[in-house]
Amino acid sequence: MDCFINVILPIPLEKSFTYAITQAEAEFLKPGMRVSVPFGKSKIYTAIVFNVHNEAPLVYDAKQIHQILDDSPIVTQEQLQHWQWIAKYYLCTIGEVMRAALPSGFILESETVISKNNEIVINDEDLKDDEFLIYEALHHQSSLKIQDLMSILDKKNVLPVINRLLDKNAISVEETVYQKYKPKLVRYVKLHSQYTSESKLQDLLNELSRAPKQRHVVMTLFSISATTKKPVKVSDLIKDGDASSTVIKTLIDKGVFEAYHIQHDRVEFSGKDNEHSKQLNEYQAKALDEINQSFKNQNITLIHGVTSSGKTEIYVKLIEEQLKAKKQVLYLLPEIALTTQLVSRLQNYFGEKVAVFHSKYSSHERVEVWNNMLRNSLKAQIILGARSSMLLPFQNLGLVIVDEEHESSFKQFDPAPRYHARDAAIVLASIFKAKTLLGSATPSLESYYNAKQGKYGFVELKHRFNNVLMPDIELVDIKDKHKRKRMNGHFSDRLIEEMTETLKDGYQIILFQNRRGFSPIIECNTCGHSPQCPNCDVSLTFHQYKNQLRCHYCGYNTVMPKTCEACGSVELDNKGFGTEQVEEEVKLLFPDHNVARMDLDTTRGKYGYEKIITALEQGEIDILVGTQMLTKGLDFRNVKLVGIMNADNMLNFPDFRAHERSYQLMTQVSGRAGRTDKRGKVLIQTYNPYHKILQQVSTNDYEQMFNEQLNERHDYKYPPIYRLIKITLKHKDYQKVDVGAEWYAKSLRTVFKQHVLGPEFPPVSRIRNQYLKNILIKIPQKQSLSKTKEAIIKINNSFFSIKDFRAVRVILNVDNY
Residue 264 identity? H
Are the beta carbons of 769 and 732 closer than 8 angstroms?
Answer: yes
Under the binding rule (CB under 5 A), the answer on residue 527 touching Zn ion is yes
For ligand ADP, the closer of residues 577 and 636 by Cβ is 636
Under the binding rule (CB under 5 A), the answer on residue 572 touching Zn ion is no
Contacts of ligand ADP in 303-342 (CB under 6 A): 305, 307-313
Write phi, then psi, for 619 (nearest 5 degrees): 75, 15
Cα–Cα distance for residue pair 789/782, rounded to 1 Å: 14
Under the binding rule (CB under 6 A), the answer on residue 471 touching ligand ADP is no
Under the binding rule (CB under 6 A), the answer on residue 457 touching ligand ADP is no
For ligand ADP, the closer of residues 278 and 364 by Cβ is 278
Q: Which does 329 bind (CB under 5 to 8 A by kind): ligand ADP, Zn ion, none?
A: none
Residue 372 identity? N
> Under 8 Å CB-to-CB from 805, ≥6 apart: which residues?
736, 740, 743, 799
SS3 of residue 705 by DSSP: helix
- C-beta atoms surrounding 122 within 10 Å: 17
Under the binding rule (CB under 5 A), the answer on residue 570 touching Zn ion is no
Ramachandran class of 651: left when φ > 0, alpha when ψ lies in -120 to 50, beta otherwise: alpha
Number of H helices, E strands in the chain: 26, 37
- Applying CB under 5 A, the site for Zn ion has a residue count of 15
Cα–Cα distance for residue pair 312/279, rounded to 1 Å: 12
Which residues on neighbouring strands pair with residue 303, listed in sequence order?
A: 439, 459
Cα–Cα distance for residue pair 310/253, rounded to 1 Å: 58
Which residues on neighbouring strands pair with residue 777, listed in sequence order?
A: 725, 756
- Applying CB under 6 A, the site for ligand ADP has a residue count of 15
Q: Tell me the closest approach of the beta carbon of residue 549 to Zn ion, in angstroms.
A: 11
3 among annotated binding-site residues = no
Closest CA to 49 of 94, 96, 9, 83: 9
Q: Which does 334 bind (CB under 5 to 8 A by kind): ligand ADP, Zn ion, none?
A: none
Under the binding rule (CB under 6 A), the answer on residue 460 touching ligand ADP is no
Q: Tell me the closest approach of the beta carbon of residue 809 to Zn ion, in angstroms.
A: 18
Q: Which does 159 bind (CB under 5 to 8 A by kind): Zn ion, ligand ADP, none?
A: none
Contacts of ligand ADP in 249-278 (CB under 6 A): 278
Write phi, then psi, for 751 (nearest 5 degrees): -95, -50
Tell me the helix, strand and coil percentages in the chain, rounded to 5.
40, 25, 35
Q: Tell me the closest approach of the beta carbon of residue 305 to ligand ADP, in angstroms.
A: 5
533 among annotated binding-site residues = yes
Under the binding rule (CB under 6 A), the answer on residue 664 touching ligand ADP is no
Cα–Cα distance for residue pair 312/329, rounded to 1 Å: 14
Q: Which does 313 bind (CB under 5 to 8 A by kind): Zn ion, ligand ADP, none?
A: ligand ADP
Applying CB under 5 A, the span of 131-139, 413-421, 559-567, 808-816 interacting with Zn ion comes to 559-567
Under the binding rule (CB under 6 A), the answer on residue 685 touching ligand ADP is no
Q: Tell me the closest approach of the beta carbon of residue 732 to Zn ion, in angstroms.
A: 14
Under the binding rule (CB under 5 A), the answer on residue 533 touching Zn ion is yes
Cα–Cα distance for residue pair 811/802, rounded to 1 Å: 17
- C-beta atoms surrounding 238 within 10 Å: 16
92 among annotated binding-site residues = no
Q: Which does 327 bind (CB under 5 to 8 A by kind): Zn ion, ligand ADP, none?
A: none
Closest CA to 778 of 807, 749, 738, 741: 749
The CA–CA distances, whole Å, from 484 to 425, 474, 645 equal 53, 19, 18
Q: Which does 305 bind (CB under 5 to 8 A by kind): ligand ADP, Zn ion, none?
A: ligand ADP
Applying CB under 5 A, the span of 109-117, 239-247, 533-541, 746-754 interacting with Zn ion comes to 533-541
Cα–Cα distance for residue pair 338/385, rounded to 1 Å: 7
Burial class (CB in 10 A: 0-12, 13-18, 19+), 222: middle
Strand segments, DSSP code E, in 84-218 are 110-116, 143-145, 171-177, 184-191
Could you say which DSSP state residue 61 is in?
P
Site map 278..307 versus ligand ADP, x via CB under 6 A: xxxx--x--------------------x-x
Cα–Cα distance for residue pair 347/268, rounded to 1 Å: 11
Q: Tell me the closest approach of the beta carbon of residue 312 to ligand ADP, in angstroms.
A: 3
Contacts of ligand ADP in 620-639 (CB under 6 A): 635
Under the binding rule (CB under 6 A), the answer on residue 696 touching ligand ADP is no
Under the binding rule (CB under 5 A), the answer on residue 553 touching Zn ion is yes
Q: Tell me the closest approach of the beta carbon of residue 587 to ligand ADP, in angstroms.
A: 31
- The single residue among 138, 302, 536, 710 that binds Zn ion, judged by CB under 5 A, is 536
For Zn ion, the closer of residues 570 and 802 by Cβ is 570
551 among annotated binding-site residues = yes
For ligand ADP, the closer of residues 463 and 731 by Cβ is 463
Site map 577..616 versus ligand ADP, x via CB under 6 A: ----------------------------------------
564 among annotated binding-site residues = yes
Q: Which does 457 bind (CB under 5 to 8 A by kind): ligand ADP, Zn ion, none?
A: none
The binding site for Zn(2+) comprises 524, 527, 533, 536, 551, 554, 564, 567
Return residues touching ligand ADP (CB under 6 A). Answer: 278-281, 284, 305, 307-313, 465, 635
Return residues touching Zn ion (CB under 5 A). Answer: 524, 526-527, 529, 533, 535-536, 551, 553-554, 556, 564, 566-567, 569
